[in-house]
Amino acid sequence: MDRTLIILKPDAVQRGLTGKIISRFEDKGLQVVGMKFMKIPVELAEKHYAPHKGKPFYDGLLKYMTSSPVIVMALQGKGVVDIARKMMGATFGFKAEPGTIRGDYGVSASFNLIHGSDSPESAKTELAIWFKPEELVDYELAARAWVFD
């Protein structure tokens, strides 16, 4: 099974959308194997967003991501990175298709509700930033046989 990192960003928390978003992933058949509710320290945000350092939006991104609590999750499932990315929709809500998380809940060009790893490689790197190995729980999901063939 593959794993990916998902962050429900400050706007998702402040708008009370976290339960709805988590339910969408679980309804799809993806397995939550790690979860934290936290306010991101600046140093952790800098580490996660290091590839964007020097870009015009970097400072604003750090300010936004550290402004309010977030939910950080590790999801598991076959092809989970691609599945989660499709479920999230286009980066900005006003461009995202209806039926996607951003398409159903977002219109902003600045606040986009959710982060998801963009490749299996970045998922491994990002999961290691946010979770210690012992914080990710291996368990047999009873419905797995009915979800993945």
Q: Which of 9, 115, 131, 141 is catalytic?
A: 115
Q: Cβ distance 75 to 43 under 8 Å?
A: no
Q: How far is CA 44 from CA 22, 41, 53, 103, 131, in A?
A: 23, 5, 13, 28, 12
Q: Which of 63, 132, 73, 121 is nearest to 101 (CA)?
A: 73
Q: Indicate if 48 belongs to the active site.
A: no
Find all residues with CB under 8 Å of 2, minimum gap 6, and list them. Answer: 76, 77, 78, 79, 80, 81, 120, 123
- Give Rg (Cα) of the chain: 15
Catalytic residues: 115
